[in-house]
Structure 1
Amino acid sequence: MLRVFLFLFALPVAAMEFPAPVTDADYRATDPEVVALGRLLFWDPILSGNRNISCGTCHHPAFGTGDGLSLGLGEGGLGLGPERVMDPENPPEQRIPRNAPGLWNLGAHEFDTLFHDGRIEALADGLRTPMGDEMEAGFATLLSAQTMFPVLSADEMAGHYSENEISRAVRQGIITGPDGAWDRLAGRVRDIPAYAEMFEDAMPGRDITFTAISDAIAQFVEAEWRSDTSPFDAWLRGEGDLNQTALEGIELFYGSAGCAACHSGPFQTDHGFHAMGQPQLGPGKAARFETHARDDGRFRVTGDAADRFAFRTPSLRNVTETGPWGHAGAYANLRSFLRDHAAPRAALADAPRDAVLSDGPFEDWRIMDDPAETAAIAAAIRGTDRVLAEEEVTALMAFLETLRDPDAFDRSGIPATVPSGLNLDRD
């Protein structure tokens, strides 16, 4: 639903459409006991193959629920955020191919497609994932199903081939069943009395399976990072004022700059896929047997040539805190990102190389060093370039600042300990 407001700027009166204020009805309900259990599981490294990485390693509130890196290091990394470095004793095989997305408002009903390429989706009759029917059953929500991917990824949480029982099972393709990676992870949790007691209290009568674990984590994420009390939300509800520069930014965003054509709705996303000419870096999205460093985006899901280099429109909630920006994190500066995002063809010719990357023996700029590859990215862009004046960039930045919700960053905090007794990632 949209509401129409009239505001008097230092410009002529503008009649504009804005999203309706967010309400409780926009979200799924959560259970406080399940949320408390999910909080411990989210921060507990027990769900990684080598017991050294938690969900919070790559999705940390200190970095806007991302990891502060353009492309992160999962297994084979040491440390947290931009300070994370390669483990000299067990170096990573490659960087994680895409920027860690934020976790804001994923409990809202409208988030029915996840990942930069939308490869998992909630349908009327169930879930669609690239993992097949056997891997789609039992999850309460799409967000819960999302957790299956990091724990099965050698680069993210499972560990390198053959170095632990989880990575060995993954390599052999044994995911479900008594010897599968999921049951082995669930077994670790079942063997800890404190977790067994918490599950019985929060989910009485339910077996401690991987899907039960993931359902609890999902409810925690939904409750912890709900974000709808920003200054912009207060303004929409008629409960607060915004400064003149932010109002000018709103006029641009929802008006002449056309940002809301894609960044629409209450969370500033149409959940669609658009080729916006973002610079590419890192290993790309490829199977192990492929040697290219390209990321074809949505095309890898649909096989439709029209989807090549198209990526999902991200929500802009707390966007000032979620950098680096872009599906590969090519921009370390949001102001520069805005300027180039409006005129992507021109920007590709002189793309920045200020990405935030841990040192490593990786060929990060193979695509941008190849004129044919950059030309293909540029050719996929739809729409026209719009050169923003500096005062327009300033106004848009002021609006984006109003989407920052300070009350949403640290509701429950990082637990002092987790039942496994393993070390936690702290800022």
Structure 2
Amino acid sequence: MSRALAAALCLAAAPVLAADLSRLSLPRPATEADFLAVDPEEARLGQLLFYDPVLSGNRNISCSTCHHPRFGTSDGLSLGLGEGGVGLGPERVADPANLPEDRVPRNAPALYNLGAREYTRMFHDGRVETVDGHLRVPVEDGFFARVSGILATQAAFPVLSPDEMGGNVNESDLSKAIRKGRFSEQGGAWDIIAQRVAAIPAYRARFEAVYPEIAAGRAIHFADISNAIAAFMAFEFRADDSAFDRYLRGEADLPPEAEAGMRLFYGEAGCAACHSGTFQTDHAFHAMGQVQIGPGKTLDFERGSRDEGRFRVTGHAGDLYAFRTPSLRNVTLTAPYGHAGAYAELRGFLVAHLAPRAAFATYDRAQAVLPDLPVEDWEVMDSEADRAEILAAIAVEDRVLTAPQIDALMAFLAALEDDPDRLGIPDAVPSGLPFEK
């Protein structure tokens, strides 16, 4: 074990850092004005679509497959298995009769509070974002003029990913359209899904009840599907009533260890430098030396398994290996951790996050939660050149906290838990297709 990592894991009993609460820059509590308004009926329609596999190429994967409430709106895997996987959560495995082409390149992000107005960037690299009020997306299509906002825009992309929901080459009409680069036009991927949904009478009736223009005769577009799913996510996964929220509103005290962790978080430990604001995120991008697993995020014609993060969006050298600061709401529920899910346990990730150089050098690959699949998962970590580039990009210094201080931070992170249960999981979906519950 390196000296730096030993220091970060120091077991010497030390008092938790003290700080005068009046000197801490605590965030203000969330208010109703922080969230987009949601039509309850639109959210109920979105609930059914979120759990319905009819949106996938082979009608076997739903949004909930990788974003299930049982796993903190994630999937419990380092890198998920979409098409070619069977089962739910950490029990999902490759189907030997239809092996996946590869793993999903990045860890499935949590969905909490994405309906808050401050969320203007989506995905680990922010490739979907609003800039000066204008939507910026990686493809051009008239579809984006019809969506309700950035959350609905984000909801449209997983169905286009062959590894997530689209399916392998020539498996379905959807997968064929995806590979031709056809989306909202007639016969395009989004159009195919919209026609599938419109052909189901129960869905048709619900869309007509929610959207007057559809009742007046307009066709159902995939933008309507995205808008409904976005309304559901904004309603269902709003999480603003944690113990910390109640503390900020003056309704209750935090347990002593959680308060000590809060003092550290917003004080000497410096966590709030990036995990700032109402939802503990600055929505910015930082290179933190995270371990790279799996196929990486590259274009079809590129070789290698690197995931260069925000750099793939901006082309700026300063964005190499930088990823978006995640919100910490319900972080205790959303394992594994990191953009590639390299850490199975939150405490281990926290220690590695404090001392990224030392942790990167001594990373134990057994921490990854990866279903068996005949693919190469460690190409980047086995490359001395790639490892050196990731380390060189780290933008922070290794920090030292004692074990009692780590305990206190963990207690504070637990005080951010607010696992909402509003509409819940439906008993059935209008397509009649089975889905994992």
Q: Which TM bucket (shorter chain)?
A: over 0.9
Matched, 1:255 2:267: yes
Mapped to 2, the partners of 1:177 and 1:136 lie a distance apart of 12
Where does 1:329-368 land on structure 2 (aligned, <5 Å)? Answer: 329-353=341-365, 354-368=367-381
Q: Tell me what 2:77 maps to.
A: 69
Q: Tell me what 1:415 maps to.
A: 426
Tell me which moved more, 120-129 or 330-339. Answer: 120-129
- Offset at 1:419? 0.6
Aligned with residue 386 of structure 1, among 399, 402, 406: 399
> Residues 278, 12 of structure 1: CA spacing in aligned structure 2 closer, same or farther, 3 A cutoff?
closer
Q: Tell me what 1:192 maps to.
A: 200
Matched, 1:322 2:334: yes
Decide whether the 8 Å contact of 2:79 with 2:106 is kept in 1: yes
Where does 1:5-404 land on structure 2 (aligned, <5 Å)? Answer: 11=18, 13-14=20-21, 15-206=23-214, 207-353=219-365, 354-404=367-417
Question: What SS does the aligned partner of 1:270 have?
Answer: coil
Runs ≥4 residues deviating over 4 A = none
Q: Output one character per residue of 1:330-350: Cα deviation in whole Å (capped at 9) or x when no partner.
A: 000111111110110111110
> Residues 29, 294 of structure 1: CA spacing in aligned structure 2 closer, same or farther, 3 A cutoff?
same
Task: Give the AA of the match of 1:424.
Answer: F
Question: What SS does the aligned partner of 1:364 have?
Answer: coil
Mapped to 2, the partners of 1:387 and 1:340 lie a distance apart of 11
Mapped to 1, the partners of 2:17 and 2:160 lie a distance apart of 54
- Offset at 1:12? 5.8
Mapped to 1, the partners of 2:298 and 2:337 lie a distance apart of 21
Task: Give the AA of the match of 1:291.
Answer: R
Question: What SS does the aligned partner of 2:157 have?
Answer: helix
Mapped to 2, the partners of 1:127 and 1:200 lie a distance apart of 28
Mapped to 1, the partners of 2:315 and 2:198 lie a distance apart of 41
- Offset at 1:124? 3.3
Mapped to 1, the partners of 2:133 and 2:248 lie a distance apart of 35
Task: Give the AA of the match of 2:20.
Answer: V
Mapped to 1, the partners of 2:133 and 2:240 lie a distance apart of 30
- Offset at 1:172? 1.4
Task: Give the AA of the match of 2:227.
Answer: D
Mapped to 1, the partners of 2:205 and 2:180 lie a distance apart of 33
Question: What SS does the aligned partner of 1:256 have?
Answer: coil
Task: Give the AA of the match of 1:46.
Answer: V
- Offset at 1:176? 2.0
Aligned alpha-carbon RMSD (Å): 1.2
Q: Tell me what 1:6 maps to.
A: none
- Offset at 1:383? 2.2
Decide whether the 8 Å contact of 1:150 with 1:157 is kept in 2: yes
TM-score, structure 2 length as denominator? 0.93
Task: Give the AA of the match of 1:284.
Answer: G
- Offset at 1:265? 0.3
Task: Give the AA of the match of 1:364.
Answer: D
Task: Give the AA of the match of 2:383.
Answer: D
Mapped to 2, the partners of 1:360 and 1:179 lie a distance apart of 33
Question: What SS does the aligned partner of 2:207 have?
Answer: helix
- Offset at 1:126? 2.8
Decide whether the 8 Å contact of 1:128 with 1:136 is kept in 2: no
Fraction of identical pairs, as percent: 58
Q: Output one character per residue of 1:365-399: Cα deviation in whole Å (capped at 9) or x when no partner.
A: 11112222111111101121102211111010000
> Residues 391, 287 of structure 1: CA spacing in aligned structure 2 closer, same or farther, 3 A cutoff?
same
Stretches of structure 2 that go unaligned for 5 or more consecutive residues are: 1-15
Q: Tell me what 2:10 maps to.
A: none
Task: Give the AA of the match of 1:118.
Answer: G
Stretches of structure 1 that go unaligned for 5 or more consecutive residues are: 1-8
Q: Output one character per residue of 1:143-193: Cα deviation in whole Å (capped at 9) or x when no partner.
A: 101122111111110111111000011111221211111111000111111
> Residues 51, 150 of structure 1: CA spacing in aligned structure 2 closer, same or farther, 3 A cutoff?
same
- Offset at 1:277? 0.5
Decide whether the 8 Å contact of 1:66 with 1:100 is kept in 2: yes
> Residues 10, 309 of structure 1: CA spacing in aligned structure 2 closer, same or farther, 3 A cutoff?
closer
Q: Tell me what 2:7 maps to.
A: none
Mapped to 2, the partners of 1:81 and 1:49 lie a distance apart of 20
> Residues 266, 244 of structure 1: CA spacing in aligned structure 2 closer, same or farther, 3 A cutoff?
same
Looking at both structures, which has the greater relative contact order when contacts are Cα pairs under 8 Å and sequence separation is at least 6?
2
Mapped to 2, the partners of 1:125 and 1:140 lie a distance apart of 13
Q: Output one character per residue of 1:16-43: Cα deviation in whole Å (capped at 9) or x when no partner.
A: 1111110100000000110110000110
- Offset at 1:323? 0.7
Mapped to 2, the partners of 1:248 and 1:413 lie a distance apart of 34
